[in-house]
Amino acid sequence: MNSTDQKPYGVKLEVRGLRKSFASQEVLQGLDFTVQPGEIFVIMGPSGSGKSVLLKHLIGLEAPDAGEILVNGESIMTPEIAAKYRMALVFQSGALLNSLTVGENVGLYLTEHRLKPPAEIERIVREKLADVRLSEAIHKMPGELSGGMKKRAAIARALVIEPQLILYDEPTSELDPLSSVVIGQEIWNLNQNTRVTSLVVTHDRDLAFGVADRIAVMDGGQILTIGTPEAVKAFPDARVQTFLNADFKREPRFKNI
Amino acid sequence: MFDNIGQMVLLFWRTLGALPLAWRQRQKVFEQFFEIGNASLLMVCMLSFFIGGVLSLQTGPALVERGLPSAVGGIVGLAVARELAPVMMAILIAGRIGSAMAAEIGSMRVYQEIDALRTMNINPIHYLVLPRLVAIALALPMLVVLAILIGWFGGATVAEINHHMAIPFAVFFGDLRSMVELKDVANGVFKTFCFAIIIGTVSCHQGLATIGGPRGIGRSVTKAVVNSIILIVMFDYILTRLLLH
Ligand SMILES: Nc1ncnc2c1ncn2[C@@H]1O[C@H](COP(=O)(O)OP(=O)(O)OP(=O)(O)O)[C@@H](O)[C@H]1O
Ligand SMILES: [Mg+2]
C-alpha cells in the first residue's frame, strides 16, 4: 500500500443558511456558499468577522443554530457521515500538542489510529516535514519553535491525514513575507498535486489574490461578495473596497521630526 | 459545584466504557503512573511518618496514665490504616496530582489542543482522561499501603522515644497485630481506590470544562482541588458507614 497510489480527491463543500449566536451576539448571520471540488476558495474579512467560527463549524467543533453543511451532497451533521470524509483544519495558533515533539505531533493521527507501522509513520513524518521545510525541527518541542514554524508544523500535521478538504485559518499570520510566499506556494502545490479542496481564511491580500480561484469577502457575520479575484477587486461595495485597499499612509506631520 | 456532578458521573461512565482501550494506552498509563510516584513519594513518606508520630503522641500518654499501654499500638494501627492514611494521602494527592491534571488538561483546552485532537478524530477521553484515571487508581492505593506502613513505623518510633510512654518497638507492633486485622488495611485501601477515582474524575472534568484563557486554568485548578477534597471527606463518611457492616 503506497500512499501515492490512492490520491485523495477533493470534495464539494456546500454551506446553506449557516447561523450561529454566542449569547446575544449573532456571529454568523446566514452564510451561503459552495466550494467546488479541487478549488482554492479564500475567505477574507476583518478581525472578528466570524471566520474562525465558520471554520470550526465546517470541521465539526461547533454546531450551528440553523443551516446546513453538506459534503458531496451529504449533511455532515451526523458524526458517522462526517467520519467518511477526511478533513483537516490548520489552526490559527497551530494548536500543536505541547507535550509532544514536532515529529510526534505530525505523526499523531497515524500513531493514535494505528494506521501504519512505526517505521512507515517515521518516513511519512519526515516527508511531510520536508514538504514544509521543517526537517531540522523534528525532535524539537513546540515551545522551542517560532510562530511561523509552529504554523508550518501544523500544516504538516494536517497533510498526514491526506485530507479531501483542508481548511487553513490565517496560514500566513505571524510569518515574514518570504515564508508567507513559501506557504502560499505550498497551499497551491498541494492543491495541484492532490486536487484537495482548499478553503483559506486570511487577511493577507497577497496570499488571497495569489492562490485563490474564488474569493469571498466577509464582514459582521455576512458574506458581502463572492467571485473571481478580478470580480472581487472590481466589486463596487464600499466596505469591500475599503478592506481591499486599506493602506498605511504616513501623515505629513510625522515626517522630518 | 453540584450542578456538574451529573457531568462528572457521565465522564466517569464514558471513561469506564473506554477501559478496554487502557491496554492500548499503556504507555501513557505508565508515564502518568511514574509521574504520580515521582511527584509524591517523598511527601507521602514524610507526611505519614509524622501523622503516625503525632497520633501516638496525642493518645499514648493519656492511655498509659490510665493503665492501658497495650492499647497504644492498636489505636495508632487502626486509626492510621482505616482513616488517616487513606484520607490524608488522598488530600495530598488531590493537591499535588489533581491540580496538575486540571492545569494540564485545562491549558490544552484553552490553547485549542483538545480541539485539534477532535479534528483528528482522537477522543480526548481515550487520549487524556483514561490514562490519568487508570494511573491514579493504581498508584494511590499503592502509595497508601506504603503510607500505612510508614505511619505505623512513625507511631512506634514516637511511642518508644517518648519518655511518658517508652513502649518498646516490638511490644508496640505486638499490640498492633493483636488488634489490626488484614480486613482493616483492605478497607482503607479500598476507600483510597474510591478517592483516587474521585480525584481523577473531578480533576479531568474541571480541566476539560475550562473556559476563558489563563485565568480560567487557575479557576479550574482551584475548583478541582477544593471539590476533590469535599467529595473525599463526604465519601469517606459514606464508605466507612457501608464498610462497617
Ligand atoms: N466560543 C465563543 N464564545 C463566545 N463568543 C465567541 C466564541 N468564539 C468566537 N466568538 C466571537 O465571535 C466573533 C468572531 O470571532 P472569530 O474568531 O471567528 O473572528 P475572526 O474573523 O476569526 O477574527 P480574526 O481575524 O481576528 O481571527 C468575535 O466577536 C468573538 O468574540
Ligand atoms: Mg480567526
Tell me the DSSP string of A237-256.
Answer: -HHHHHHHH------GGGTT
- Return the amino acid letter for B20: P
Ligand number nearest to the C-alpha of A23: 1
B78-97 tens-digit pLDDT: 999 999 999 999 999 999 99
Q: Taking CB atoms and an 8 Å limit, are B108 and A83 in contact across chains?
A: no
A135-147 tens-digit pLDDT: 999 999 999 998 8
Q: What is the mean pLDDT of residues A92-109?
A: 93
Closest ligand 1 atom to Cα of A221: 14
Which of A93 and B137 is assigned the larger pLDDT? B137
Residues of B in contact with A88 (CB under 8 A): 119
Sketch the domain layout of chain A as residue ranges: 22-85+166-246, 97-163
pLDDT band at A153 (very low <50, low <70, confident <90, very high): very high
- How many beta-carbon pairs under 8 angstroms link A with B? 44
Question: What confidence score (pLDDT) does residue A239 get?
Answer: 84
Question: What confidence score (pLDDT) does residue B57 get?
Answer: 92
B contact residues 86-105, partner A, Cβ 8 Å cutoff: 104
> What's this model's pTM, rounded to 2 decimal places?
0.88
Residue B133 domain boundaries: 2-244
Look at chain B and report how many structural domains it folds into.
1
What was the ipTM of the complex prediction?
0.87
Q: Taking CB atoms and an 8 Å limit, are A93 and B115 in contact across chains?
A: no
Ligand number nearest to the C-alpha of B213: 1
Question: What confidence score (pLDDT) does residue A240 get?
Answer: 84
Mean pLDDT (10-residue bins), chain B, 245 residues: 80 86 86 92 94 92 86 91 94 95 95 93 92 95 95 93 86 90 92 96 94 90 95 94 82
* Average pLDDT over all residues of chain A: 88
A contact residues 32-71, partner B, Cβ 8 Å cutoff: 56, 59-61
Q: What are the DSSP calls for B77-102, one per residue?
A: HHIIIIIIHHHHHHHHHIIIIIHHHH
Question: What confidence score (pLDDT) does residue A123 get?
Answer: 94
What's the CA gap between A220 and A18, in Å, rounded?
14
CATH number for the domain whose boundaries are A22-85+166-246:
3.40.50.300
B146-172 tens-digit pLDDT: 999 999 999 999 999 988 888 888 899
Q: Grid coordinates representing B46?
A: 514524610
In contact, B195 and B235? CB cutoff 8 Å: yes
